[in-house]
Amino acid sequence: MTENEVQALAREYPDWQPWLLVIEAVMREVTDSKWETSVPSRAETQAANVPLLAGLTIALDLERIRRWQQELVQTSVRSGAPKMSPLNLIKKNAVNTAAVFKAALCEDGAGLKRIANDLGVDADAFSAVALLIPVPFLHACNRHWARSRSPGWTAGYCPTCGAWPTFAELRGIERSRYLRCNRCGAEWQAHVLFCSFCGNSDHKELGSLLPEKSGSTRAIETCNRCRGYLKTFTKLQGSAAPKIILDDLASVDLDIAALDHGFKRPAGPGYSLNCEVVGKQGFSQRIFGRNL
């Protein structure tokens, strides 16, 4: 990420400036090496097409998670966005940090909505911020496990965290197709004629949209079977992991074009992680016996 890229987006989409402050905070945090200590141990062998995080019990310093959660909430409140301002009413002690982290990690939209309702805040605003809380942890997991992923991964969802791909990259002269995840920064190679969402490989049902202003390096892959779509960028090399979330925002015109043509992305994760989140002793827990 460069400051100029964020500023350029803010100029092009002035209404986004409040949310870009939140995104900047996340992009800074994903590069912090302190998250490496939170990466859990995993099984030496993994069943085919099962993400590395699936089924793990994750022990976290919930005090650290709470501080990061509050930083995100306060950044969103300070942004001045009307829908974010009521989040300031959330009382720190009223939030079950582990429950919020687990729901966000597993992309449990119904769970996040229930928590928001219990807290008395707007569910959409709360979920938008909450889903960003585990992103630095997920990036740390992806970095730590980069060499242990199966090179023959064939599923359309992320091999690390089970999320659906954010976009595809056609790289180099040979145009090898890689899928990218904006939750953990992962990349994995995939077949060219293949719908990541439903597995359709019938070229008669696969197509593409080329919006007038997209140029020759940007397109939208479509599937008439599931009506899903995936943004695709032609480039020499892949985006750096922390920048994927910004690239996704910068190509929102492609999302709008796809929606206008009746295509959409599936809701929720591609693979349900079913993780458990427990607290490990931080300083306050050791000294005061405090549970967060």
In the chain, the amino acid numbered 7 is Q
Chain centroid to CA 253: 19
Alpha-carbon torsion angle 284, 287, 290, 292, nearest 10: 20
Please tell me the predicted confidence (pLDDT) of residue 238: 92
Provide Rg for the chain, Cα atoms. 19
**Which tens digits make up the pLDDT trace of 215-273?**
678 999 999 999 999 999 999 999 999 999 999 999 999 999 999 999 999 999 999 99
CB atoms within 10 A of CB 67: 13
pLDDT at residue 8 in the model: 82
Q: What does the DSSP assignment read for 207-272? A: EEE--TTS-TTEEEEEETTT--EEEEEEESSPPPGGGHHHHHHHTHHHHHHHHHTT--PPSS-SS-
Place of tokens 């930083």: 71
pLDDT of residue 2: 59
pLDDT, position 83: 77
> What is the bridge-based pairing of β-strands 276-279 and 57-60?
parallel
- pLDDT number for residue 19: 86
Cα atoms found within 13 Å of the Cα of residue 137, Cβ hemisphere only = 24
Residue-wise pLDDT tens for the chain (292 aa)?
456 788 888 888 888 888 888 999 999 999 999 999 999 987 666 778 899 999 999 999 999 999 999 999 989 888 777 778 878 877 766 789 999 999 999 999 999 999 999 998 999 999 999 999 999 999 999 999 987 777 788 899 999 999 999 999 999 888 899 999 999 999 999 988 899 999 999 999 999 998 776 667 899 999 999 999 999 999 999 999 999 999 999 999 999 999 999 999 999 999 999 999 999 865 444 444 554 4
Structure confidence at residue 3 (pLDDT): 62
Of residues 102, 87, 167, the one with CA closest to residue 133:
102
Bridge partners (DSSP) of residue 279 are: 60
User: Which of 234, 269, 236, 257 lies closest to 108, judged by CA?
Assistant: 269
